[in-house]
Amino acid sequence: MLAALFVMLGTGAYAQWTNYPAPGIPRTRDGKPNLAAKAPRAYNGKPDLSGVWHVQPTSVAEMKRLFGDDVNAVEVPGMEIDTISKYAVNILQDFKPEDVPMRPEAAAIFGRRFPAGPEVLPSTHCLPLGVPLVTMLSEFSKIVQTPGLIVIMLELDNAYRQIYTDGRKLPVDPSPSWLGYSVGRWEGDTLVVETNGLNSKGWLDVLGHPQSEAMHITERYRRRDFGHLDLEITLDDPKMYTKPFTVKVTHVLQPDSDALEYVCAENENDRAHMGLK
């Protein structure tokens, strides 16, 4: 099942500008990037989150423990099972089966999704992946921090998120979109991002846990050192889930690298082999 899902996700991209020695990277005596160095600071004294990041993956051993020994039986180059987070597979992984907080409406949608039903991951049709799934996979994300605005450039789909830090509020009646509307504020050295205006088409994970237009996401970013960005994500969707839930991941800096152009529709051949229209 999981192997088929990863085929549907398509081939992961490898970074361009590989091994280019970017200036400003602290290095050890042997010239390697020192990821344990102090986090850089921005113009306002807050941590600078800028950089190319990749989610810290879950090990093969842990993936097999969670999802079965055949979880890596078939792998797509660039989308190997040990290059993604366990939460990309199942956002509710931390819950016992009897404690999963899905409402009946959510369970009905979940039951219609691959492999149980006819609905398939949006990326199979070259549609975007939503938040937070888009950053739980193999592709890179690139954060550019400026006064009043933080941009997250997503390698997957060549998409981007805009996080306004200029004091504006979230829109009251947003037009639903794949990545929503985001505003941020600093609480000490932690960037707190609030997002609303998400559509109901996105999947929270590759198994197909759903979301509604009522979903509100709160993210807390903390760059604990030069090479590690800790992220706490709380999802609150009262139409689909009985209570908010939180997952915690770490993103690891990809120094001397960059994000790569990604175009899903170019040379796309998956649907023909899967019998999809």
Q: pLDDT tens, 193-224? A: 999 999 999 999 999 999 999 999 999 999 99
Q: How confident is the model at residue 254 (pLDDT cuts 50, 70, 90)?
A: very high
Q: Please report whether residue 161 resides in a domain.
A: yes
Q: Please report whether residue 199 resides in a domain.
A: yes
Of all residues in the chain, the percent with pLDDT exceeding 90 is: 70
Q: Please report whether residue 41 resides in a domain.
A: no
Asked if residue 16 has pLDDT above 80, the reply is: no
Strand pairing category for 228-236 and 181-187: unpaired
Name which of 154, 142, 113 is nearest 229 in CA terms. Answer: 142
Q: How many alpha carbons fall within 13 Å on the CB side of residue 45?
A: 2
Across the chain, the runs of DSSP E, i.e. the strands, are 51-55, 141-146, 149-154, 159-164, 181-187, 190-196, 216-225, 228-236, 245-253
For residue 208, CA distances in Å to 41, 88, 129, 179, 254 come to 38, 10, 11, 17, 29
Q: Which domain holds residue 210?
A: 2-10+47-253
The tokens describing 146, both together, are: 């400026």
Name which of 201, 243, 196 is nearest 95 in CA terms. Answer: 243
**SS3 state of residue 52:** strand
Asked if residue 275 has pLDDT above 70, the reply is: no
Q: Please report whether residue 258 resides in a domain.
A: no
- Mean pLDDT in the chain? 89
Q: Please report whether residue 184 resides in a domain.
A: yes
pLDDT of the residue at 265: 77
Tally of domains in the chain: 1
Name which of 197, 275, 195, 267 is nearest 235 in CA terms. Answer: 195
Q: Please report whether residue 272 resides in a domain.
A: no
**pLDDT tens track for 151-187:** 999 998 889 999 999 999 999 999 999 999 999 999 9
Q: Please report whether residue 25 resides in a domain.
A: no
Q: How confident is the model at residue 14 (pLDDT cuts 50, 70, 90)?
A: very low
The tokens describing 87, both together, are: 């939460």
Strand pairing category for 181-187 and 159-164: parallel
**pLDDT tens track for 49-65:** 999 999 999 999 999 99
Q: Please report whether residue 18 resides in a domain.
A: no
